[in-house]
């Protein structure tokens, strides 16, 4: 069993923001597989099989910086080990369109990943980092992640979501090294 967590902030006012890339991928996977979202106390959840593996999709309702609270509860509730956790999130250090898979790596300054690592007491989980690029000039990164994609970025963002979503069944079928070789 896998717990696949898309990180983002709940609420329509955040829906189009760069920081919600994880939610976008989770929504794409749910739609692609015909899964329906249900609300639990700390998250929206959907489930089914991908590549013959039972998977739970999760969108925490705790806001980005407290994502670990929902993840910890759901891991325990579903009996899933951290090594079977896949966290999908935006990444300022990658240009738009880049996807990077990792296992056991640091949080890279991402507060949602930091929250998960701190509450689980480990970094031994999978991450799907999706590039959003850095703001130009001296723009504030915190403000940048809470802005929608603009112009040509929108098309690239949607294409990236589809590729990131496809990397999930590819990982389940072929493993980490394979997705790293094919998506990096």
Residues annotated as catalytic are 19
Number of H helices, E strands in the chain: 6, 7
> Which are the contacts of 62, defined by CB distance < 8 A and separation ≥ 6?
42, 43, 69, 70
- Going from the C-alpha of 67 to that of each of 18, 43, 130, 171, the distances in angstroms are 17, 9, 17, 23
Euclidean distance between CA atoms 184 and 43, whole angstroms: 30
3-state helix, strand, coil in the chain (%, to 5): 45, 25, 30
User: Token digits for 34?
Assistant: 């015909």
């Amino acid at each position: 069993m896998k717990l696949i967590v898309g990180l983002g902030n709940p609420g329509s006012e955040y829906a189009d923001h760069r920081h919600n890339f994880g939610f976008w991928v989770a929504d794409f996977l749910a739609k692609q597989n015909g899964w329906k979202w249900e609300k639990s106390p700390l998250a929206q959840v959907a489930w089914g099989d991908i590549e013959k593996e039972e998977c739970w999709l999760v969108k925490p309702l705790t806001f980005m910086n407290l994502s670990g609270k929902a993840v910890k509860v759901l891991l325990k509730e579903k009996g899933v080990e951290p090594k079977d956790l896949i966290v999908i999130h935006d990444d300022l250090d990658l240009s738009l369109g880049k996807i990077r898979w990792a296992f056991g790596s640091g949080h890279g300054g991402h507060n949602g990943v930091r929250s998960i690592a701190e509450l689980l007491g480990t970094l031994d989980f999978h991450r799907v980092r999706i590039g959003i690029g850095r703001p130009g000039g001296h723009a504030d990164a915190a403000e940048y992640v809470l802005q929608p994609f603009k112009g040509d970025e929108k098309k690239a963002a949607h294409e990236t979501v589809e590729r990131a979503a496809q990397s999930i069944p590819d990982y389940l079928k072929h493993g980490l090294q394979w997705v790293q070789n094919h998506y990096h």
